[in-house]
Structure 1
Amino acid sequence: MPAPDAPPLPDAVTGVLAGLRRWPDVEGADLVAADGADRLLLAELAGLLAGPGGEALTRPGAVTVLDDAHGALALGALTLGVQRPRVWQDSVVAERALDANAERLGLGGAFERQTAGAPGAALLPAGALDGARLVLLRLPRSLAALTELAEAVARSAAPDVVVLAGGMVKHMTPAMNDVLGRCFGAVHATRGRHKARALVASGPRDVEPTYPVSEQVPGGLTLWAYGAAFAGPRLDRGARALLEAVGLLPGAPGAAPAGPFLPAGATVLDLGCGTGALATSVARAFPDARVVATDVSAAAVASTALTAAHAGVGDRVETVRDDAGRDLPGASFDVVVCNPPFHVGAAVHTGAASRMFRTAARVLRPGGALWTVYNSHLRYRAELARVVGPTTQVARDRTFTVTRSVRSQESAR
């Protein structure tokens, strides 16, 4: 158990944190690669390593790092003397940021990466946790995501495992303690530092896995969701607005004002697929269409694969875990549908959406269309016209706007 007053971080660790970059994640003056929660967790780890039995935590495989944002926890732990920690990250952007930072520091290959299980299986495989004595965890924003991770640790880690779960105080809630308390016999909070706090959990309980979950939504579609998938098994309002605008929900007016939604035999990209509502709805409505669904999140990709499979279109919906479509070939799609995020982590930021618009311009064939739904106050229409091509407003209310952007020859070059 961490000491009441964890020691200050060694200079070597603070130097590592100062040199980290977010790339290829969105970068900006208000966005950092290592925050107070990372520093607090590493200080608590340093206290454990300096205490009784600390040497055992340095052995290969004794420490597992979950959802490291840009490598601060894994690389900080290595600098403190932990050998070959196991690392699992939901986001492929986080994986690539960790890899890039590790290479710059000469630590490439010093940790053991774990990948998500197959759709329908546990998202966090037992191999990521088997025998782990300590788990460092960045508290996710979603209680569902925290539940899934906590259940996995309780089921698969060593009986004496200790979980250090940290976050910035402004993003933490008492419900996080309750989630950990359902999975562990003892939970307490450390003293706050760096505007952050850590929850310490031990004594794993015998718990059954909760995820994935499913729910039937309007249109007769059943959505499947792992814990970290945006909106869970519910149809989020943005996706619903887009489906209504293109006539894929019962009673919707269709897309006549903006031209036909889908040409015959089209290749369609769902960019940022979430739980697969858009990709699966398109595949169900257009049997001759080929659909590719991509997302940065392992939870989202696995959720989409399950949604499509249970809808009977799994053979026509290809799922790809990718960074805003970065690895997709250019000029390869007739239509792109996109319900972009308007935040990066906990910060409101439009950088992720802008990257997705640039991807759409690159992967659309000349004359192809990007259908986008976004919060009306964001006013993306001018950016879409500049990046993709002529943009028409299809639907708008106080909350959401749906647009159709046709790829121009200029954006094709």
Structure 2
Amino acid sequence: MTTPWGEVALSRFPEDPRETLRAWDAADAYLLRHLAARDVPPAGSVVVLGDRWGALVTALAAHRPTQITDSWLGQEATRANLARAGVETGAVGLLTTQDPAPERIDVLLVRVPKSLALLEDQLLRLAPAVHADTLVVGAGMVKEIHTSTLRLFERIIGPTRTSLAEQKARLIFCAPDPSLKRPRNPWPHAYDLPDDVGGALAGRPVVNHAGVFCAERLDIGTRFFLRHLPRTTDRRRVVDLGCGNGIVGTAVALADPAAEVLFTDESFQAVASAEATYKANGVPGHAEFRVGDGLAGVADGSVDLVLTNPPFHSHQATTDATAWRMFTGARRALRPGGELWVVGNRHLGYHVKLKRLFGACETVAGDRKFVVLKAVRSR
């Protein structure tokens, strides 16, 4: 990426030679050009919210910024990009969306997230640290910035306006108003599952932190999956891979308290949600909650059953790279005879990848939109 201060070599994490997606976009570049054009460079406490792969904090490392992200993969990419640029990781603060907010913010740079709820939650958490002289600038692609986005900035921080578009990117300028009466933070959000879910989950509570997929209702893919989950008899080590709010893993634990369930996701918000959902249901079994890259760190051949609903987007890009990593990680972690169960949109064609990886794939259930697939590790 070419910045006003020189070129920076950037990559996503984990690096994949087959993947062509960049670790930065026009919005990152636009924001950096704007900062360089100001008479006064960023000074004081600089906070970068939602920096997707570390492009912004790497370029601004001289100002010792603090990054706040919901993505474990994004945080690891930042570490790698800082090291590649010769910057010590200690020169940049690396926080998650679950960490306490900084006490004072003099410059707040916001990469607008896909989730409006996550933006709302994070602005409400950071607003007390913002003061009248804080420089607040948001950035995003034109398709990511809506009227509702600007209203959030106005409602939580202060008067807001936007820039002209450049290379399909736009900036948001917000003037902090310390006298603004902010709304109560509605996150995390809890609701009870509908009775028609059936089984032990009917009427059970679910807890969602902001930004988790379908945080306000049960999504139809998970609803379909719940109707076709396998019995866990003799499958004592179970993984809810890409766990989201943990409904699937909690359903397994409720059905078989003897099962050991690992909830894992690359989103800090998701794993916090899964843990809160599990605890809210008072499940007597054993569970582990882990933020990371899928099944990395799980011993080979140590798992009996993996359940997953893979994402097929990386921010605004449609890609199967994440699903492929999840499938290959599951095959490695499963014992011989262990099973991977996948729910997904029918049009994604996951059966092709599973047949290539496992040698066979069985369709357990399907309707016009979704399909549940099973693959067994033979050896």
TM-score (norm 1): 0.84
CA contact (8 A) 2:43 2:106 kept: no
1:407 aligned residue: 377
Paired amino acid for 1:231? C
Residue identity matched to 2:268? A
Q: Deviations over 1:357-413 (max 9, x none)?
A: 00110111110111100110111112112213432101111110001111111xxxx
Structure 1 residues not aligned, in runs of 5+: 1-7, 117-122, 247-254, 256-260
What's the counterpart of residue 143 of structure 1? 116
1:262 match: secondary structure: coil
Asked whether 1:245 is paired with 2:235, we answer: no
Alpha-carbon shift at residue 292 of structure 1 (Å): 0.4
Counterpart selection for 2:210 from 227, 236, 241: 227
1:55-94 superposed matches below 5 A: 57-59=42-44, 62-78=45-61, 81-82=62-63, 84-94=64-74
Separation (CA, whole Å) in 2 of partners of 1:154 and 1:27: 40
Percent of pairs identical after alignment?
35
Does 211-220 or 364-373 show the bigger shift?
Answer: 211-220
Cα distance change of structure 1 residues 206 and 314 upon mapping to structure 2, 3 Å threshold: farther
Give the number of equivalent residue pairs: 367
The 2-side partners of 1:137 and 1:27 are apart by 29
Aligned match of 2:186:
210
In the alignment, does 2:4 pair up with 1:10?
yes
Aligned partner letter, 2:123: A
1:10-409 equivalent positions in 2, closer than 5 A:
10-12=4-6, 15-16=7-8, 19-24=9-14, 30-48=20-38, 50-51=39-40, 54=41, 57-59=42-44, 62-78=45-61, 81-82=62-63, 84-109=64-89, 110-116=91-97, 123-126=98-101, 129-204=102-177, 205-207=180-182, 208-218=184-194, 219-246=202-229, 261-264=231-234, 266-313=236-283, 316-409=286-379
Cα-to-partner distance string for 1:107-155 (whole Å, 9 max, x where unaligned): 1322011234xxxxxx3522xx321111111100111111111111212
Q: CA deviation at 1:344?
A: 1.3
Could you say what the CA RMSD is over the residues aligned between the two structures, in angstroms?
1.9
Residues 70-119 of structure 1: CA deviation (Å, up to 9, x unaligned): 111101112xx41x211111111001111111111101322011234xxx
Alpha-carbon separation, structure 1, partners of 2:267 and 2:133: 30
Q: Distance between the aligned counterparts of 1:11 and 1:201, measured in 2?
A: 25
The CA distance in 2 between the partners of 1:361 and 1:9, in whole Å, is 41
C-alpha distance in structure 2 between counterparts of 1:148 and 1:124, whole Å: 13
State the distance in 2 between where 1:69 and 1:357 align.
Answer: 24
Residue 317 of structure 1 and its aligned partner are, at CA, apart by: 2.5
Whole-Å Cα distance in 2 between the matches of residues 221 and 163 of structure 1? Answer: 41
Q: Tell me, which stretches of 5 or more residues in structure 2 are unaligned?
A: 195-201
- Residue 200 to residue 285, structure 1, CA distance change in 2 (3 Å): same
In the aligned structure 2, how far is the partner of 1:153 from the partner of 1:163? 11
Measure how far apart 1:37 and its partner are. Answer: 0.5
TM-fit CA distance, 1:333:
0.9
Deviation at 1:25, TM superposition (A): 5.8
- For residue 95 of structure 1, give the secondary structure of its aligned residue in structure 2: helix
Distance 1:335 1:275 in 2: 19
Question: Residue 298 of structure 2 aligns to which amino acid in structure 1?
Answer: L
CA offsets per residue over residues 151-184 of structure 1, 9 Å max, x none?
1121233343232111111222111011111102
- Distance in structure 1 (CA, Å) of the matches to 2:137 and 2:359: 48
Counterpart residue type for residue 109 of structure 2 = L
Q: Which is worse superposed, 384-393 or 343-352?
A: 384-393
Q: Which segment is superposed worse, 353-362 or 379-388?
A: 379-388
Tell me if structure 1 keeps the 8 A contact 2:162–2:171: yes
Q: Return the offset for 1:314.
A: 7.5
The 1:198/1:314 distance shift into structure 2, 3 A limit, reads farther
Which residue does the alignment assign to 2:197? none
**Greater mean deviation of Cα atoms: 372-381 or 191-200:** 191-200
Q: Say whether the 8 Å CA contact 1:283–1:313 is kept in structure 2.
A: yes
- Given that 1:9 and 1:43 are in contact with CA atoms closer than 8 Å, whether structure 2 keeps it comes out as yes
Cα displacement string for residues 198-256 of structure 1 (whole angstroms, at most 9, x for unaligned residues): 1122324342222101111132222111111111142211111111112xxxxxxxx5x
| In structure 2, C-alpha distance between the alignment counterparts of 1:282 and 1:357, rounded to whole Å | 20
Cα distance, 1:211–1:46 mapped onto 2, change above 3 Å:
same
- SS of residue paired to 1:178: helix
Deviation at 1:265, TM superposition (A): 5.9
DSSP 3-state at the match of 2:227: helix
What CA distance in whole angstroms lies between the structure 1 residues aligned with 2:242 and 2:361? 20
- Cα displacement (A) at 1:28: 5.4
